[in-house]
Structure 1
Amino acid sequence: MSWTDAAAPLVAEVIRSVGRSDMKVLRKALVAAYPWGERERTPYKAWLSEIRRQLGHPLNAPKADPKNKQTDMFNPR
């Protein structure tokens, strides 16, 4: 079992119990729930990676195509 596999259910449980409505409270709960002592090296990187994966990091979001003008008709000017 990898560190990421171990972190996945823990992160999911914190997100489920706290909810996504207040990200500041959720971030504090995720910091408090870190289970492996010192926040360094591989376990901590896996923990942060799993948080980014489950919360949907903005860098992973699909980019809008500026050349696609089809939705312009829905934007009032």
Structure 2
Amino acid sequence: MKFMAIMTLLGLLAMLLVASSEASYCPCNLRKAEVCGTNGVTYQNRCVFECTQREYRKLGRNLNIQKLGSCPAMQFS
């Protein structure tokens, strides 16, 4: 009986670990076609942007494409 309880617990832990690691996995190619996000960050391509956008949504925040190409450099005075 203890053996079954331990095996069940280990199985549940394994499922949780796999689910959490897959949730943040976002495969993208290395093709460069930069996009500028509304957060002022230049992303290597739309795929990388969309992966970050999913993470923002999980936090209840919005992230959109501001423009195609790189973001303007920030000016400090």
**TM-score (normalizing by structure 1):** 0.26
Q: Which has the higher strand share?
A: 2
Q: Which structure: larger Rg? A: 2
Structure number with the bigger relative contact order (C-alpha 8 A, sep ≥ 6) is 1
Q: Which has the higher helix share?
A: 1
